[in-house]
């Protein structure tokens, strides 16, 4: 996958979401005026679902792009390297892995066996770095509530700067808050056309911005340790 192919994939993903939103918006023409504000509450829920879904797909596509580059772990930033080493860290953290030399006489010496695992890990660390970088895209989890801090958690997991989308922090959190208020029945009032247009504009800006930033990041290979 090239950076241009990544952008094309994201633009295709965004297009169908925009088409679906347009379909539901068009249903307003069939609704009597006094019920339109109530109907727009559901449009806000759809807006949120597309924002969360698109951001998740974007980050998973970014992982797929990284995997397709057939990079060695040593060539990428530390966050990406760690993301690809889940299996190795699970093995290191396994308390049942004990030194064969001391297992019989000192089976319960936790400090000793922890030292063994550390030594064993460091002995292999250079080999780990030489291996091909492969990350499971299921590492991305939006937790059904894409607060900005949740987005930052996911960025951190895959070695992206946690401030990458800071420009959209307040808008993301505001939409999650409104979505939850509507979904939980706390927001009883309807949504006016001007309010919905404002939400729609913000979400469009967020999704376009995510696409643009990830394309820039891949096109300029900012994930490589040699690129500043």
Task: Name the band, by pLDDT with cuts 50, 70 and 90, for residue 225.
Answer: confident
DSSP label at 95?
T
DSSP output for 87-128 = HHHHHHH-TT---HHHHTT-TT-HHHHHHHHHHHHHHHHHHH
Closest to 199 in 3D by CA, of 43, 55, 52: 43
The helix/strand/coil state of 72 is: strand
Identify the weakest region by mean pLDDT among 22-26, 27-31, 91-95: 91-95
189-209 pLDDT tens trace: 788 888 889 889 988 988 998
What pTM does this model have?
0.84
């Amino acid at each position: 996958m090239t950076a241009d192919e990544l952008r094309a994939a994201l633009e295709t993903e965004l297009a169908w979401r925009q088409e679906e939103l347009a379909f539901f918006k068009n249903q307003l023409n069939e609704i009597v005026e006094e019920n339109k504000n109530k109907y727009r509450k559901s449009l806000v829920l759809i807006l949120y679902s597309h924002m969360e879904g698109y951001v998740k797909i974007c980050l998973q596509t970014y992982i797929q792009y990284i995997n397709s580059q057939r990079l060695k772990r040593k060539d990428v930033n530390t966050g990406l390297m760690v993301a690809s080493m889940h299996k190795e860290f699970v093995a290191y953290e396994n308390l049942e892995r004990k030194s064969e030399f001391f297992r019989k006489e000192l089976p319960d010496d936790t400090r000793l066996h922890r030292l063994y695992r550390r030594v064993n890990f460091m002995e292999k660390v250079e080999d780990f770095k030489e291996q091909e970088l492969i990350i499971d895209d299921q590492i991305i989890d939006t937790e059904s509530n894409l607060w900005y801090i949740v987005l930052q958690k996911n960025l951190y997991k895959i070695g992206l700067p946690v401030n990458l989308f800071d420009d959209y922090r307040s808008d993301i959190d505001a939409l999650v808050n409104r979505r939850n208020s509507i979904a939980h029945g706390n927001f009883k009032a309807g949504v006016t056309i001007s309010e919905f247009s404002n939400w729609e504009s913000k979400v469009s800006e967020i999704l376009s911005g995510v696409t643009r930033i990830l394309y820039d990041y891949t096109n300029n290979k900012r994930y490589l340790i040699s690129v500043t």
